[in-house]
């Protein structure tokens, strides 16, 4: 009886602009109070990105405070590990509370203004 050979998975390089990211936010859902309740995102795992995951507001804020980098974007059709990315998600303070905003956006009244809504 011969031993089975292990499967070979070729290494697919990640685009340079995506190497420094920890995640890509695809869409946002707002709660009744007008703040972000959760986001739909893709998290980077080594050289690949995960399937869609749902991050709560607290988890996203904790990750941003920990130094992780997120950008707004969407996956390119039929290219599983490639994304069209836009502005970075940043954390600001408003009235002593963390406020999610996009890099380069003038101080909006709504968190993550301009991101597709679920």
| Chunked mean pLDDT (size 10), the chain, 118 residues | 57 66 94 95 87 95 96 86 89 91 83 90
Q: According to the model, what pLDDT value does residue 10 have?
A: 57
Phi and psi at 27, nearest 5°, equal -155, 165
Q: Is 12 within the bounds of a domain? A: no
Provide the whole-model pTM: 0.82
Q: According to the model, what pLDDT value does residue 108 have?
A: 76
How many domains are there within the chain? 1
Phi and psi at 87, nearest 5°, equal -70, 160
Q: Is 79 within the bounds of a domain? A: yes
Q: According to the model, what pLDDT value does residue 47 have?
A: 77
Q: According to the model, what pLDDT value does residue 26 have?
A: 95
Q: Is 67 within the bounds of a domain? A: yes
Domain that holds residue 76: 17-102
Going from the C-alpha of 10 to that of each of 7, 17, 47, 57, 72, the distances in angstroms are 10, 21, 11, 36, 28
């Amino acid at each position: 009886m011969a031993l089975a050979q292990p499967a070979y998975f070729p290494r697919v390089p990640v685009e340079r602009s995506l190497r420094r990211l920890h995640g890509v936010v695809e869409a946002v859902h707002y709660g009744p109070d007008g703040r972000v309740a959760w986001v739909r995102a893709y998290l980077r795992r080594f050289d690949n990105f995960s399937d869609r995951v749902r991050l709560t507001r607290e988890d996203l804020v904790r990750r941003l405070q920990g130094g992780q980098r997120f950008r707004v974007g969407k996956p390119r059709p039929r290219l599983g590990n490639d994304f069209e990315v836009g502005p970075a998600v940043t954390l600001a303070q408003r009235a002593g509370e963390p406020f999610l905003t996009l890099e380069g956006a003038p101080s909006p009244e709504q968190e993550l203004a301009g991101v597709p809504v679920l």
